[in-house]
Amino acid sequence: MKTEVDHRLRRSWTAEGGDAAQLPARALRWLTQRIGALTESPAGPAPTVPVSALKEETHADLVALLGERNVLLAPAERLGRAGGLSYLDLLRWRGAGELQVPDAVVLPADPEQVQQVLDLCVRHDIAVVPFGGGTSVVGGVNALRGDKAAVIALDLARLDKLVSVDPVSRIAVLQAGVRGPDGERLLAEHGFTLGHVPQSFERATIGGFAATRSAGQASAGYGRFEDMVSSVRLATPRGEWRLGVAPASAAGPDLRHLAIGSEGTLGVITEVAVRVRPVPVVRRYEGYVLDGWERGSAAVRALAQGRVLADVTRLSDTDETEVSLSLNAGWKTAALRRYLAARGIAEPCLLIVGWEGASKHEFSARRGAALAALKAAGAVRIGRSLGESWLRGRFSGPRQRDALLDNGVCVETLETAAHWSELSRLRDEVRSALSDSLGSPIIMCHVSHAYETGASLYFTVLASRDPADPTGQWAQAKKAACEAIVGLGTISHHHAVGVDHAPYLEAEIGSIGMDVLRAAKAVVDPSGILNPGKLGS
């Protein structure tokens, strides 16, 4: 069965709200100049939707449990949960490669129904892929069937409630399907914020944040998502599992850290209790420029090790800064270039710093401490407009990617983290690997998460797409980058493992670690229905 694919589904980001980005002609000219001729977007066949493998009996039992309207077999619905938003996923939508389409989509109403769906799937030998925002860029929600009779997407969209708020302890319990903006809206009614803002914020969910060990753009101020998790509630084939009873504990290994990052393989996260903070009363974003990558990363290190990081601290390397300036060409940018040249900045690296303060006094104190460190590190202040324009555009990356894909660009991101002493070497090696593999790509890099002992590196790659084998082109480049990362850094700082990074997990946690994960899975999911093929399971 072939199905005409809804335009809504073929784009990564325009499904709900937000305009599709267009690339201005000037940007296209500039791109062509930098990476070579651009091919047309492939006009491959629309994705094929196979006949659902769900048996009538299974379907009937699911309908009896959830009601007709919460068990979806329509091709458009199934396609809507066929994978995430990696470049390879998007190519599949555009006809290059096979989409993995679930046999059905189920929408349980609450944690109890999630548990009942799992029990049913054990009985019927059905693989279950938990589906939140569908924003995985590592194949984490690809509908793999494993050795099961069929595979369903368990969409958590109806678990969209704020369950409770403890204003004294500043803990809120949110259901797993709550999306980023909805979570903030629900918490704001109580005067609180979560402060977790990854680039996928608009669509990603609380459960997904926990399942993937997400890190938000303001991780320096609010912490990574795992730092915010007070407790988790999971549905597993073995039954419900709750972890986390106190702000800190020495009651053996911290098993919350086994649930966090388990990517649907050890249970379906149904509720997360998170630490919340008062809605900030001051927000301030500013731009600074450092001369060259080494001085730039040293400045961020000084902020991190001096423990005066701004809540958002984001350093672009020379190439990323140059691309920003080139695409923002105009009299203001020209003036900025002249100003920087006059200040002796030969290789500008843009640093965005942002604070969200609970009071003006707190904000001023923290900003003052950071500015002193930045001044000592040789940073040149360029005012608030670049900081604010970053803030406005901080969710636009995925939209721009759609426009780039339309124009025949190979565009993808990848990320890692390493200790400070390895960071520049790791950046160099990943850049070399990508360059060697892709010809003359544009490789931009930034640090968006800094710690006392190291930092993340986030790469954006633009290349002229190989029309003959776009999938193979990127698969090869990604492999080269991953091999450069292994041994120097982590295979993922915040994108998770999914399918794409699974081959590199053992290098990081050892064969013992892999066996421990398998053993834990065998306890909670003896028949192996939970998200087959992810995390190397």
| Range 447-506, binding a copy of itself (CB under 8 A) | 449, 451-456, 489-497, 501, 505
Shortest spacing between CB 489 and a copy of itself, in angstroms: 5
CB atoms within 10 A of CB 322: 17
Name the nearest CA neighbour of 144 among 499, 478, 408: 499
Q: Are 444 and 35 in contact (CB under 8 A)?
A: no
Within 8 A by CB and 6+ apart from 513, the residues are 505, 506
State which residue, 1 or 245, has the beta carbon closest to a copy of itself: 245
Q: How many residues does the chain have?
A: 537
Interface stretch with a copy of itself, choices 53-61, 127-135, 141-149, 239-247 (CB under 8 A): 239-247
Distance CA 397, CA 390 (A): 11
Nearest distance from C-beta of residue 270 to a copy of itself, angstroms: 14
Amino acid making up residue 426 = L
H/E run at residue 211: helix 206-211
Q: Number of residues interacting with a copy of itself: please give it, by CB under 8 A.
A: 89
- State in angstroms the smallest separation of the CB of 345 from a copy of itself: 24
Looking only at residues 275 through 304 of this chain, which bind a copy of itself when binding is defined by CB under 8 A? 275, 277, 301
Q: Nearest to residue 371, comparing CAs of 348, 342, 351, 357?
A: 351
Q: Which of 161, 170, 190, 337 binds a copy of itself (CB under 8 A)?
A: 170
Q: Minimum distance from CB of 352 to a copy of itself (Å)?
A: 20
CA-CA distances (angstroms) from residue 13 to 137, 226, 470, 520?
A: 13, 26, 21, 35
| Closer CB to a copy of itself, 32 or 305, in the complex | 305
The 10 Å CB-count burial string (b at 16+, else e) for 192-213 is bbbbbbbbbbbbbbbbbbbbbb
Site for a copy of itself in 347-366 (CB under 8 A): 358, 361-362, 365
Q: How far apart are CA 458 and CA 463, in angstroms?
A: 17
What is the residue type of 406? D
Spatial separation of the C-alpha atoms in residues 336 and 330, rounded to whole Å = 10
Query: Are 114 and 159 a contacting pair, CB within 8 Å?
Result: yes
Q: Footprint of a copy of itself on residues 378-437 (CB under 8 A)? A: 416-422
Question: CB of 362: closest distance to a copy of itself in angstroms?
Answer: 7
Helix (H) or strand (E) holding 389: helix 384-393
| Euclidean distance between CA atoms 209 and 212, whole angstroms | 6
Choice between 24 and 167, CB closer to a copy of itself = 167
Q: Which residues from 241-260 bind a copy of itself, rule CB under 8 A?
A: 241-243, 245-260
For the CB of residue 336, give the shortest distance to a copy of itself in the complex, in Å: 32
Compute CA distances 532 → 273, 357, 466, whole Å.
27, 43, 31
For residues 83 and 267, which CB has a smaller minimum distance to a copy of itself in the complex?
267
Please identify, using beta-carbon distances, which residue of 250 and 468 lies nearer to a copy of itself. Answer: 250
How far apart (Å, rounded) are the C-alpha atoms in residues 75 and 79? 6
At closest approach, how far in Å is the CB of 143 from a copy of itself?
Answer: 20
Which 201-230 positions form the footprint of a copy of itself (CB under 8 A)?
212-215, 224, 226, 230
Is residue 371 a contact residue for a copy of itself (CB under 8 A)?
Answer: no
Looking at 281, 329, 341, 509, which residue binds a copy of itself (CB under 8 A)?
A: 509
Q: What is the largest CA-CA distance in the chain?
A: 75
Shortest Cβ 65–a copy of itself spacing (Å): 23
Among 188, 334, 335, 516, binds a copy of itself (CB under 8 A): 516
Specify the residue, 325 or 491, whose C-beta has the smaller distance to a copy of itself: 491
Q: Does 369 bind a copy of itself (CB under 8 A)?
A: yes
- Binding positions for a copy of itself, 80-109, rule CB under 8 A: none
CB of 452 to a copy of itself, least distance (A): 6
Lookup: tokens for 520? 């834990």
Question: Counting contacts by CB under 8 A, is residue 196 touching a copy of itself?
Answer: no
Which residue lies nearer to a copy of itself by CB, 40 or 166?
166
Q: Which is nearer to a copy of itself, 224 or 465 (CB)?
A: 224
261 vs 287, which CB is nearer to a copy of itself? Answer: 261
Identity of the amino acid at 160: D
